[in-house]
Structure 1
């Protein structure tokens, strides 16, 4: 018996979350010795190499663009996002990083108004404000338990939100494969100088983890895209929040990480507010909603 589209989408999304969790474990292991810029460089390089066969198969036409400057900006901010996320993953519990990574819709709301001049109603503004209250509950600036690495997790979310906003400014005709190609070119070039500056020669095991991260990043992105193609966004999207559960379990089993009540409370507030925002976005016209999903899909994978 064939599975329904929504069920297939949910399973793809769950698979994406599981893969991302394993990737985060590998990043955390590498982050104990290798610098985040070096890890980001290899992630960019391996991801770029992985899409070259696809470019060869589809032809040079997919690379036609009139927006090299926007692609260059995407590469730069993508590198910032990777560095910030890898730095945070190595220094705070996986569950805390994952919860803070869900703040992308909060930043996207602000950027949609500032850059795209979109009209945002009071309900979405209210949900955004509540979400940032959840961030304050989690991070608790000024408290003895405050960890500045949490700010890097927020910088990651802000950078991704900015990347998604940039994609919306690209003219019609830009292909997803072309966007991934130029992202790979510019992010790899931008990552090379800082990676060389902090370079430490990887051990055999670390080489294996670096390749592992590159492969898992591509798989996670592929599963994420398949999820939204198979099912309705409003049905599929909430399953992405299972990453928080996976991260909590993985952090405890692999690194003996625990989270306190404030972190759980703050994470719950963030999840509720972003789920509400996602449901509001699902009411947008179908073409506009599809464009948002495609934009997020290109930028989601680390």
Structure 2
């Protein structure tokens, strides 16, 4: 949007001659008022992202509690119903409302994004129940490296040797977490990796559709198509929740809505590259909650592997920012 402060006043005569005549009889000039610089809200955005990470951690706690008592797809289905209502309410308040949000130039890709994300959430809840919060998130933190690795074949972007090296180091961190020499690796341990792969693909498709559709259109299709997809497979496992479990479900939905709203607001205030490193604080919260609420064990190899993955991911994000600059 053009800045009207850079234009002359509507009544001003900007020809040189008129300016010299006016200067002879005009009052002493008033010093120009320097416009106040735009307020840097990066600090507030970072604080909000840290809050989002904490809320996400509690969201995962409620997901694990409910996923241990009910089919994960049922938990995700009810959660998506509430999320879809939240999306509709939020989008309706935007310019153009629902009519604008429905119009997309890439409907098939938008539907695919929503379906992939919904299935990824189901897999994550299953991983929470089988592996625990700590190990699930330790492996899932590799998704930025998967985004970098897949950006070439999916979006046609070039990935230099430095980022490929960081990707290789990140996968080394996964091996440290899984500890294949310990003889405890199972297919269950690959669940969070599959979820990370799906989330990376979702992120790349989001960047792809952003070339033609605004963010609110993508947000609308994410909620609606995901809700439809998970309902088609989850409605067959329907059962009523116990009264106390409905309380946990409400807490889960409140966490989901508030975290997504705060995340949207934080990305409006600062660049994603500045915020992403602070999203890893979720690993800290998840580790704390996993140990004290579910008696999970924080094994040294998991801590070391997660540190390797996070360091490689932050380096990859930094290289992407340098390349964009």
- Which band: TM-score by shorter chain? 0.7 to 0.9
Do the aligned partners of residues 142 and 148 (structure 1) sit closer, same or farther apart at CA in structure 2, a change above 3 Å counting? farther
Do the aligned partners of residues 198 and 258 (structure 1) sit closer, same or farther apart at CA in structure 2, a change above 3 Å counting? same
How far does the alpha carbon of each residue in 1:117-140 deviate from its partner, in whole angstroms, 9 at most, with x for none?
Answer: 211100000000000010111113
Deviation at 1:150, TM superposition (A): 2.8
Deviation at 1:76, TM superposition (A): 1.8
Residues of 2 paired with 1:128 and 1:111: CA distance? 11
Deviates more, 1:257-266 or 1:217-226: 217-226
Do the aligned partners of residues 280 and 23 (structure 1) sit closer, same or farther apart at CA in structure 2, a change above 3 Å counting? same
Matches within 5 A, 1:94-113: 94-113=133-152
Deviation at 1:4, TM superposition (A): 5.2
Residues of 2 paired with 1:137 and 1:172: CA distance? 38
Residues of 1 paired with 2:62 and 2:203: CA distance? 26
**Residues 87 and 149 in structure 1, CA contact (< 8 A), matched pair in contact too:** no
Alignment partner of 1:215 out of 254, 260, 264: 254
Aligned residue pairs total 284
Which structure has more relative contact order (CA 8 Å, sep 6+)? It is 1
Structure 1 gaps, min length 5 = 287-302
Deviation at 1:253, TM superposition (A): 1.3
Alignment pair present for 1:21 and 2:60: no
Deviation at 1:147, TM superposition (A): 4.8
1:227 is matched with 266
The normalised TM-score by structure 2 is: 0.82
Deviates more, 1:91-100 or 1:137-146: 137-146
2:193 is matched with 154
How far does the alpha carbon of each residue in 1:205-237 deviate from its partner, in whole angstroms, 9 at most, with x for none?
Answer: 222222322221122122223333333444432
Do the aligned partners of residues 119 and 16 (structure 1) sit closer, same or farther apart at CA in structure 2, a change above 3 Å counting? same
Matches within 5 A, 1:149-298: 149-170=188-209, 172-285=211-324
**SS of the counterpart of 1:169?**
helix
Residues of 2 paired with 1:47 and 1:76: CA distance? 14
Asked which structure has the greater CA Rg, the reply is 2
Deviation at 1:196, TM superposition (A): 2.4
The normalised TM-score by structure 1 is: 0.87
Do the aligned partners of residues 235 and 166 (structure 1) sit closer, same or farther apart at CA in structure 2, a change above 3 Å counting? closer
Residues of 2 paired with 1:171 and 1:269: CA distance? 31
Deviates more, 1:184-193 or 1:119-128: 184-193
Deviates more, 1:158-167 or 1:148-157: 148-157
Do the aligned partners of residues 49 and 238 (structure 1) sit closer, same or farther apart at CA in structure 2, a change above 3 Å counting? same
Alignment partner of 1:138 out of 164, 177, 186: 177
Alignment partner of 2:68 out of 32, 38, 42: 32
**SS of the counterpart of 2:182?**
coil
Residues of 2 paired with 1:123 and 1:162: CA distance? 22
Alignment pair present for 1:12 and 2:73: no
**SS of the counterpart of 2:297?**
coil
**SS of the counterpart of 2:93?**
helix
Residues of 2 paired with 1:279 and 1:220: CA distance? 25
2:7 is matched with none
